[in-house]
Amino acid sequence: MAYAPTASNRPADDRAPSGPPHGPGPVPTRRPTDQPAQGSGVPREPGRPASAGASRSAPGRPHDQRPHDQRPHDQRPPEQRSGDHRSADHRASDHRSGEHRAPDQRSQNQRLSALIEEAGFSHAGLARRVDQLGIEHGLDLRYDKTSVTRWLRGQQPRGATPALIAEVFTRRLGRRLSAQDLGLDACAPVYAGLEFAESPAEAVDIVSSMWRKDTGAHSELRRIAFTPAGLVVPSRDWLIGRSDDRVARETSHDLGLAPAPARAPLRPGATTGGAHPGGLSAGAVPPQTRRPLSAGTDPGAVTGQLPPPPPPRGLQRVGRGDVAAVRAVGDLFRSLDNAYGGGHARQALIRYLESEAEPMLRGRYNEAIGRSLFGAVADLTRLAGWTSYDIGAHGLAQRYFVQSLRLAQAANDRLYGGYVLVTMSRQAVYLGHGREAVQLARVAQQGVGAVAPTTVQALMHAAEARGHGLIGDARSCTTSLVRAERALQAARPGDELPSWARFFDEAQLADEFGHCYRDLQQWRPCAQHAERSLRLRGGSYARSRVFCRTVLATARLGMGEVDEACAAATEALRGASEMRSLRAVEYLREFSRKLAPYRGNASVRAFEEAAHGAGVI
């Protein structure tokens, strides 16, 4: 996960550097007035919307404001129209590749041309990367260098392709770019929900939109693909970012209301016409000596600024009791998830976030309450991602994790942000992205520093070990496991520990050892640690026990103990049948696939019959 992309051969011009900063520090921002001219080769600042009044017409060309169905229609055959003297086969290729031509001839796409030069892409290289990214999202695209040439001439690719092209440049240049930044038509970005918001208010807008869309039995969000590249920017921005200066919502300014118009103080001797008692003209202000304001004095009477209007009365006033209630709801849903799987109460959790948490976030609160509220909602949002992950909605889960990370930053809770990154690392391991998992765990360690409680340090080292184990790096895996073990041994019963870290105990550490040794195919230590975890693990963590029993079954099978392996897997099957967890089902399916060489064994047949009956295989 490279945070500083390799610089391409860029011309020495006045464009801003493309790469992210190489270390912590403020990121320079563009003033609102520093907008590039329409049609120029300088892309708009990533993440900022284009001006509402900006026209997409080429510079110097009049823009037809009439609807398309009222504009003059060219009755000539297509091959005789201006700008399209190609054969029918050539135009058909446009249709097959999903491109369309605008009704009017477009100018050259200077924005796309400048970014291609900045990224150092060839036309064929860009097309190849778009096709490869399409495969990641389940799309069969067949673009080539001629497609890129047509994009540069002003043709617009259809569907999600503009967003895919923008994502290719985002990965290459290390900064977020939209389709409009490339001079292409806007469409739903493939990274929607992966944005790391610039402000708490924007973070609330993004995550609340996700809650509203993630309701009902057939939410489209649950079919969004997981994007490994979507891990880079949020983790980097969290690592180098600073806590928000203010999250309170008390004044009209906090609530986004327009300030009251100022009344300019009148100069001595100025008049507004008409006589005034006492010999002064109306509106004349006599000379005054400066004196401090006394208690109760209206500052507006001196500065000339009217006091701000009071906040709307309809907004909810959030107190400590409200935040405590959110925390309690999180504990409840967490217990349900551990015992019965993410599918049981996930929808109820999302509805709670939408109906209760969002009005609180948009309500009124002081700074201390606001920080606590953002922290509590960050925890619930991470849990929404965790339950989504457990039912196999991995793209949606990834987006909830990113938004939880941003809410944790608004809460100024660095430790919890590190925990969210560890959660993202675990998902990456499950999906087979070991290197990304290692990087996420390391970013978490770097972000929280050595002042983190030893149990939290152990948790993060264990997450890194899982990534090393997945890619077969036994030495690094062992090193991380030893660090996790030493850190947990250094913990004391009286140590102050966040509630979310209390699950990480000797049983969980043994479970981590078992999973690592399973991935390294070291079957005997795998079985030993899995058995130890099962002895220590409480019954309230039913899903974790299912996972661990399946790991034990895999180890027994690896050692040639087929009957013992099937016995352990059958016990895991009983537990999985009582919960709604696609992960539990996938653990058992993976074990079942390993049984192929032993189909004639009676224990294998009995297990497969039971698994068929439970709908697992």
Rounded CA gap, 206 and 209, in Å? 5
Rounded CA gap, 421 and 439, in Å? 10
Which one of 3.40.190, 2.60.40, 2.60.120, 1.10.260 gives the CATH number of domain 86-182? 1.10.260
Rounded CA gap, 610 and 603, in Å? 11
pLDDT given at position 515: 98
Rounded CA gap, 543 and 168, in Å? 38
Rounded CA gap, 369 and 322, in Å? 9
DSSP letters spanning 276-299: -TTSPBTT--------PPPTT--T
Low-confidence ranges of the chain (pLDDT < 70): 1-107, 137-138, 186-191, 216-219, 252-254, 256-314
CB burial string 331-354: b at 16+ within 10 A, e below:
eebbebbbebbbbbbbeebbebbb
Rounded CA gap, 43 and 18, in Å? 11
Rounded CA gap, 190 and 94, in Å? 22
Q: Which two tokens stand for residue 162?
A: 């503009």
SS3 317: strand
pLDDT given at position 409: 97
pLDDT given at position 186: 67
Cβ(506)–Cβ(536) below 8 Å: yes
pLDDT given at position 312: 53
pLDDT given at position 224: 82
DSSP letters spanning 155-177: -EE-TTHHHHHHHHHHHHHSS--
DSSP β-bridge partners for residue 70:
none
**What does the chain come to in residues?**
617
